[in-house]
Amino acid sequence: MVFTISKHCNMTFAQLTTNPLEKRKLDIVVISDVHLGTYGCRATELSNYLSTIDPSILVLNGDIIDIWQFSKKYWPPTHMQVIKKITSMLSRGVKVYYITGNHDEMLRRFEHFSIGGLHIVNKLVIHHDNNKRSWIFHGDVFDVTMKYSKWLAKLGAVGYDMLIMINTFINYISKKLGRGKISLSKKIKNSVKSAVKFINSFEETAADIAIDKGYDYVLCGHIHQPCDREIKTAKGTVQYLNSGDWIENLTALEYCNDQWSVYQHPEDEKAAKQNEAANKDESAYMRTTELFKMMVEDFEMVVEDFETA
């Protein structure tokens, strides 16, 4: 899908105000690899972030709901709260593009489905006001294990979720002892040469194809490695960006004032204040059934707007 975006933003993350109730207007926000339905998902932090922004376009760049590991036994209110935040954006007129990933690949059969402001696509091209173009896709197409050993990838996903659970317990103990948090998976990825090589290969492959197609920016997810760097080859230059994840890094990509930037939730004091002011009252005590009812009401508003348009 291809479309043109006009300016809407008024404040980047670097220009945050101290008013916890003032939302930042942004042209585009890209989040990926949320993995709703798993124990490692940091849904509360994502809800905090979504409460502080007012984008024209929200791009959900794959692996938002983890269908691979989905279980009716684990779907807490905080996870439903994220869905509620997104449907509320839809009811306010925000365009939402759901780009499918590998953990939610079941949705690929619904490519080009649209209702109101919600669109399901496999990739996205955005034409900006400054005549530059952004190419957005999840990135699992470059993953060899996804092509030839999907069972191994699914097994790895389960192992990764278990590692996050163990990491959570270790960080709980570490906090009690007055020490900082650690990330086991980050340490493993950074220390294993094959993992570093895979990440570099992934980034370079995405950049090579983007340069061949004449894009100015290429945006991916999938590898849980937030990034914003310029990649040069013999054929040209492209800006490679990765939205990271909401398991460990808690990052997103934001487009404002004709440029992309990486949002870092751990550095966002405003989102922390939002947590105390809003989510403590709303998300922590609401039952999943109540949130679902509110979500359906928001979605019905979207359908009504679509039918009357």
Q: CATH number of the domain that 239 lies in?
A: 3.60.21.10
Contact assessment for residue 61 and residue 219, using Cβ atoms and an 8 Å cutoff:
yes
How many other CB atoms are found less than 10 A from the CB of residue 177? 7
Read off φ and ψ for residue 15, nearest 5 degrees.
-110, 25
Query: What is the per-residue burial (b if ≥16 Cβ within 10 Å, else e) of 231-241?
Result: beeeeeebbbb
Model pLDDT, residue 261:
97
Model pLDDT, residue 249:
92
- State how many domains the chain has: 1
pTM, 2 dp: 0.75
Model pLDDT, residue 287:
58
Contact assessment for residue 241 and residue 228, using Cβ atoms and an 8 Å cutoff:
yes
Our separate counts of H helices and E strands in the chain read 9, 13
Q: Which domain holds residue 51?
A: 2-15+23-308
Taking only the tens of pLDDT, the chain with its 309 residues reads 765 666 667 666 555 555 556 899 999 999 999 999 988 899 999 999 999 999 999 999 999 998 877 777 788 999 999 999 999 999 999 999 999 988 787 888 888 899 989 999 999 999 999 999 999 999 887 654 444 444 344 444 444 455 555 566 556 565 666 666 655 455 545 554 444 455 668 888 899 999 999 999 999 999 889 999 999 999 999 999 999 999 989 999 999 999 999 999 999 987 777 655 554 445 444 555 665 566 556 555 544 554 555
CB-based burial of residue 39 (10 Å sphere; 0-12 exposed, 13-18 middle, 19+ buried)?
middle
Model pLDDT, residue 149:
42
For residue 239, the cross-strand partners are 217, 230
Nearest CA to 24 among 55, 1, 46, 47? 55
Residues 133, 307: Cα–Cα separation, whole Å: 32
